[in-house]
């Protein structure tokens, strides 16, 4: 049962909290995520029995939210309806949050109220928000960060704390490969942020699990910061110089590399590479990604 959601306007109109069992302000009724429809592209040979599926695309998701506007006894029912009417607009986008996940949507219609007096009177008004989620998958509220720097334990209990020399508990060292666990059910794009502490020629990040990589044909210098994104609808290559100036560096992309370098569901082994392997120590790299979920209940 969905008992609490948060709707946030992406155009700066604020947020709206809806919760079951709260007889004040706005009370949550039911939420229907709808069903995601898979569209299969098929083919069949001559005299073939049945068809073969060559690819599948996923369409948008319908969304329906019902709730109640409540009068707290101070006669503010109309003002709360006025806020809701202005807040929900078919020409603006919103984010819905539920149990640590979120999904974006756009309303199909303005707020609809029940025509029945028992559901629309001086004390309560039942409303409907009907919308479409163009990207039908849920994501985490924030990205997961995976740094390549590695912490190593250097001892285990029991230990001789009475010894003269100091005891080192752990150290932080450079790691040139890291395992990333994609908890979602779909391949997820990644954002790679690299800070250069020295010269690096033609850096690359490889997904050893899939065999794909993304890289640059350019020499980078100390103080520069590079961001590579393979996230669908937000693919880019940006560079910030030591002076903070931003530059689009997609023209330096290694033509052999792929914007399809993503994390498949499950375990992925990523590795750093460049023309001179000794220069890998001049890169401070962090991978950002967000898992994708088809359902959240």
| CA atoms lying within 13 Å on the CB side of residue 256 | 9
In this structure, the answer to whether residues 152 and 265 fall within a common structural domain is yes
In this structure, the answer to whether residues 115 and 222 fall within a common structural domain is no
Tell me the CA distances in angstroms from 44 to 49, 54, 55, 191, one per residue in order. Answer: 8, 10, 13, 39
* CB crowding 192-222: b at 16 or more within 10 Å, else e: bbbbbeeebebbbbbbebbebbbbbbbebee
Lowest-pLDDT choice from 64-73, 94-103, 130-139, 162-171: 162-171
End-to-end, the C-alpha distance of the chain in Å comes to 8
In this structure, the answer to whether residues 210 and 78 fall within a common structural domain is no
Pseudo-torsion of CA 290, 294, 296, 297, nearest 10°?
-160
Taking 70 as the threshold, does the pLDDT of residue 172 lie above it?
no
Q: State which residues form the domain around 93.
A: 4-136
Taking 80 as the threshold, does the pLDDT of residue 24 lie above it?
no
Write the burial class of residue 43 (CB in 10 Å: 0-12 exposed, 13-18 middle, 19+ buried): exposed
Instruction: Check which CATH number belongs to the domain holding 71 and give it.
Output: 2.40.30.200
Domain boundary among 83, 109, 136: 136
The confidence score (pLDDT) of residue 152 equals 47
Per the structure, the count of domains in the chain is: 2
Contact 272, 179 (CB under 8 A): no
The model's pTM: 0.81
In this structure, the answer to whether residues 80 and 183 fall within a common structural domain is no
Domain boundary among 136, 170, 186: 136
Instruction: Check which CATH number belongs to the domain holding 254 and give it.
Output: 2.60.120.860
* Residue-averaged pLDDT of the chain: 88
The confidence score (pLDDT) of residue 108 equals 96
Mean pLDDT of 26-34: 92
Partner residues linked to 204 by β-bridges: 215, 273
Contact 130, 107 (CB under 8 A): yes
Q: Is the dihedral of CA 274, 276, 278, 284 positive or negative?
A: negative
Lowest-pLDDT choice from 142-151, 220-229, 281-290: 142-151
Confidence band of 35 (pLDDT split at 50, 70, 90): confident
């Amino acid at each position: 049962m969905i008992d609490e959601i948060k709707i946030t306007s992406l155009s700066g109109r604020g947020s709206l909290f809806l919760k079951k069992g709260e007889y004040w302000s706005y009370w949550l009724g039911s939420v229907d995520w709808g069903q995601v429809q898979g569209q299969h592209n098929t083919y069949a040979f001559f005299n073939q029995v049945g068809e073969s599926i060559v690819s599948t695309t996923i369409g948008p998701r319908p969304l329906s939210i019902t709730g109640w506007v409540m009068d707290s006894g101070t006669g503010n029912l109309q003002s709360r309806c006025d806020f809701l009417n202005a807040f929900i607009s078919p020409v603006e986008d919103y984010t819905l949050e539920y149990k640590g996940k979120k999904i974006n949507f756009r309303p199909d219609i303005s707020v609809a109220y029940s025509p029945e007096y028992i559901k629309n009177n001086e004390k309560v008004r039942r409303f409907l928000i009907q919308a479409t989620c163009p990207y039908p998958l849920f994501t985490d509220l924030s990205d997961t960060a995976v740094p390549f720097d590695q912490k190593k334990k250097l001892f285990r209990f029991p230990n001789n704390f009475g010894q003269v020399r100091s005891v080192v508990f752990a150290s932080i060292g450079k790691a040139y490969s890291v395992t990333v666990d994609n908890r979602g059910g779909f391949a997820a794009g990644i954002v790679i942020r690299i800070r250069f502490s020295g010269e690096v020629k033609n850096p690359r990040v490889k997904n050893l699990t899939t065999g794909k990589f993304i890289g640059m044909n350019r020499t980078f210098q100390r103080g520069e910061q590079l961001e590579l994104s393979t996230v669908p609808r937000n693919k880019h290559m940006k560079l910030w110089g030591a002076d903070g100036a931003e530059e689009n560096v997609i023209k330096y992309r290694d033509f052999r590399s792929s914007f399809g370098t993503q994390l498949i569901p499950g375990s992925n082994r990523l590795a750093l590479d460049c023309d001179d392997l000794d220069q890998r120590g001049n890169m401070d790299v962090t991978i950002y990604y967000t898992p994708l979920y088809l359902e959240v209940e």
